[in-house]
A and B are shown apart, each in its own frame.
Chain A
Amino acid sequence: MKKKKRRIYIIWFALCALISIIFAVPLYYTLVNSLRSLYSLPVSVFPREPQWINYKYAVTLIPFMRYLWNSIIVVSISVGFGITVDFFYGFAFARLKVKGSAILFMILLAQMMIPGFALQIPQYIAFVNFGIKDTYWIWVLTGLAGSPFIIFLYKQYIESIPKELEDAAFIDGCGYFRIIVEIFMPMCKSILAVGFFRIFITEWGNYMTPYMFLTQKKYPLAIALFNASYTFPGDPSANMEPIKCAAALLFAIPSIIVFFLCQKQLVSGITAGSVKG
């Protein structure tokens, strides 16, 4: 019996390892090719003389730092609202069930049905009319309106917390602002981490909104990298593939780091949220 179990484990492990390798190959391939010489064909093994200078080219041949800064602005606005304002909304939907809250909640759910596209194009026209095209105000306004998915996520989680808690705090003379900030937020760290993760990943990679609303100078990395044509001054014939690989990896690194930071909470947060629902 034990021997059989062991055999199953080995088969399982081998299969998982094989799939992992298949999944990892594109990343590995990008890495080795970001290090190959500009004048060679694509390689599939680690180059003998890795050209780390490709990474320097990736950030100096285009105004990489400016795009990075733009990305940081956009992501900070979205994440900032997404883990504060959305949490307040989520709390209100979960705990403050008063007249009218049911209707608002229906509106929230209805928002999830609308395809992103159907909203963004009229938004584009509306924001042009507001005169705020090509500014970051768009992220502030949409951030304040909240993301329905994130609000829903918080609401589900908050509902699983026992109710006596805020009643006691309320009788002690605690206002709702303090109840939310001082009691609920620390208790909901894991779901806030999930919210942070989701918003970061979406906004860091969001090319659509900036492409519609901003101009070249204000582009974040997501769209700038796609739009950028790397060329060598003095040698336009050089093959820029390695530099593009380097740029793609540099761009992906923050997402990967955030994933590793939030990974633990991702599993526990999702599980806790779904026990209820």
Chain B
Amino acid sequence: MKDLEIANQKSKIKKVKIKNSFERSKVRAFYAIMTPFIIFLLLTKAYPLVWGIYISMTNYTGFNLDNLTFVGLSNYKRVFIDSEAIPSIIRVIGIGVITVPAKLILCLFFSLMLANVLRGVGIFRTLFYLPSVIPPVAIALMWKVIYSFNGGLFNRIREMFGLEPVNWLGYDYVKTALIIMMLWTAGGGVLNNIAAIKCIPDDLYEAADIEGAGALAKTFKITLPMISNMIYMELLTAVIYTLQLFAQPVLLAGASGEGLTAVPIRPVYTYLVHVYQQIFVNMRFGYGMAMVWVVFLIIMLITFIFEKTKKYWVYTEVN
């Protein structure tokens, strides 16, 4: 009897030992894996970020590291005085109010069309998604030719309707041209949306069938609410992305020999283009960084508003 107890205790100790060694090796493994993560996080992200906040409060111009002057928040004040900064943000919003909803609605429409498995759906999924895998630079090169004045595709189409050819990359049409080009990649979200739609339990639709609901009712009463969390994420990402709009205008409407420092014409001169000009052309690093943090604060504010209003329009399952 005693022997059994001792044996029992021994095995208990053994179990605890295994568990302990398991825990210990877990801790060891975690920190072994995470050491490089932490080191390089500090080196390539934390340090530059802190540094970036600091230089936004100095007069750093690229050469004067030895005698930096701390200027407090005056760079931030300048953002609101600068005759280009605020108008360029308004310009970006002007582009965004068209592209963000248009892209989102198109993408949703495509996803609803492609969610069911019908014959040929695979090919359509591929074709809808394909434009969004093409590198932005290639897209810009392609669309520049499409928009060319002499016999470009869009002017051909205008001619077919008996209209005069226009300069698509000129002052009057470049915003439209940019928006059309951006809408070409609207299919980029279909795969995610389809995945979300497929996760909706079938019994909801079965119940709707019994009630005699039509396809439209099912779409608006079941599918869309069930993927509203996905739509919410996509909308938020799209807004953030649009505020940072930089490359497309430069690539499409800038002179091609000048790289990313090319200045696109006014209607598509966005906020971040202005930042880029300040930093890499005028070498006003301090001011440029202050501008970056201003847009970052705007993004934080928008995210906050989205999160706070989420409960009114996003369906979430209560666990």
* Interface residues of A, Cβ cutoff 8 Å to B: 9, 12-13, 15-17, 19-20, 23-27, 29-30, 33, 41-44, 85, 88-89, 91-92, 96, 98-101, 104, 107, 111, 113-119, 121-123, 125-126, 141-142, 144-146, 167, 170-171, 175-176, 201, 204-205, 207-208, 211, 222-223, 225-227, 229, 241, 244-245, 247-249, 251-252, 255-256, 258-260, 263, 266-267, 270-271, 274-275
- Name B36's closest neighbour in chain A (CB-CB): A144
Contacts A9-B119, A104-B38, A205-B135 supplied; 17 other A-B pairs, CB < 8 Å: A17-B124, A20-B128, A23-B128, A27-B130, A42-B145, A42-B151, A92-B37, A101-B34, A121-B279, A145-B44, A175-B25, A223-B259, A225-B141, A229-B256, A248-B137, A256-B133, A270-B195
Instruction: Assess the B45–A145 pair: CB atoms within 8 A.
Output: yes
Which of chain A's residues have a CB closer than 8 A to the CB of B29? 92, 96, 175-176
CA distance A117 to B299 in the complex (A): 12
Closest B residue, CB atoms, query A179: B29
| Residues from chain A with Cβ under 8 Å of B51 in the complex | 122, 125-126
User: Chain B interface secondary structure, helix, strand, loop or mixed?
Assistant: helix
Distance in angstroms between the alpha carbons of A29 and B30 in the assembled complex? 53
Query: Does B285 lie at the interface of the complex (its beta carbon under 8 Å from any beta carbon of A)?
Result: yes
User: Of A27, A115, A266, which contacts B240 at CB under 8 A?
Assistant: A115
A27 to B195, CA, bound (A): 27
Collect the chain A residues with CB atoms within 8 Å of residue B152's CB.
42
B118 CB within 8 Å of chain A: yes
For residue B136, CB closer than 8 A to chain A, the reply is yes
A19, B212: Cα distance in complex, Å: 31
Which B residues are within 8 Å of any A CB, using their own CB? 18, 22-23, 25-27, 29-34, 36-38, 40-41, 43-45, 47-49, 51-52, 55, 110, 113-114, 118-120, 123-131, 133-138, 140-146, 148, 150-153, 156, 184, 187, 191-192, 194-196, 198-199, 240, 244, 246-247, 251, 256-260, 272, 275, 279, 285, 288-289, 292-293, 295-296, 299-300, 303
Contact of A16 among B33, B124, B198 (CB under 8 A): B124
Question: Would you give 13 A-B contacts (Cβ < 8 Å), ordered by A?
Answer: A26-B142, A26-B184, A29-B145, A44-B153, A98-B27, A101-B30, A176-B25, A226-B256, A244-B141, A248-B137, A252-B138, A256-B130, A267-B194
Expressed in whole angstroms, the minimum distance between the Cβ of B102 and any Cβ of chain A is 14
The 4 closest A-B pairs by CB, nearest first: A205-B135, A122-B52, A145-B40, A122-B48
Partner of A107, one of B41, B52, B251, B279: B41
Nearest residue (CB) in B for A201 is B133
Whether B33 pairs with A170 at a CB distance below 8 angstroms is no
Q: Which of B38, B143, B191 contacts A267 (CB 8 A)?
A: B191
Whether A125 contacts B118 by the Cβ 8 Å rule is: no
Pick from B22, B141, B187, B246: contact of A226, CB under 8 Å: B141
Q: A119: which of B45, B134, B137 is its contact (CB, 8 Å)?
A: B45
Given contacts A16-B113, A117-B246, A263-B126, contact A96 B138 (CB under 8 A): no
Inter-chain CA distance A30–B244, complex, in Å, is 28
Q: Is the CB of A227 within 8 A of B110?
A: no
Q: Output the least CB separation between A74 and chain B (Å).
A: 13
Q: B299 contacts which chain A residues (CB < 8 A)?
A: 113, 115
Q: A125-B285, A141-B43 are in contact. Are A248 and B142 (CB under 8 A)?
A: yes
Do A241 and B195 touch across chains, with their CB atoms under 8 A apart? no
User: Inside 8 A of B136's CB, which chain A residues have their CB?
Assistant: 205, 207
Q: How far does the alpha carbon of A123 sit from the alpha carbon of B52 in the complex, in Å?
A: 8
Cβ contact within 8 Å between B247 and A207: yes
Do B289 and A275 touch (CB < 8 A)? no
Partner of B292, one of A113, A118, A251: A118
Given contacts A104-B37, A145-B43, whether A211 and B260 have CB atoms under 8 Å apart is yes
Smallest distance from the beta carbon of B235 to chain A beta carbons, Å? 16
Complex CA–CA separation, A33 to B135 (angstroms): 19
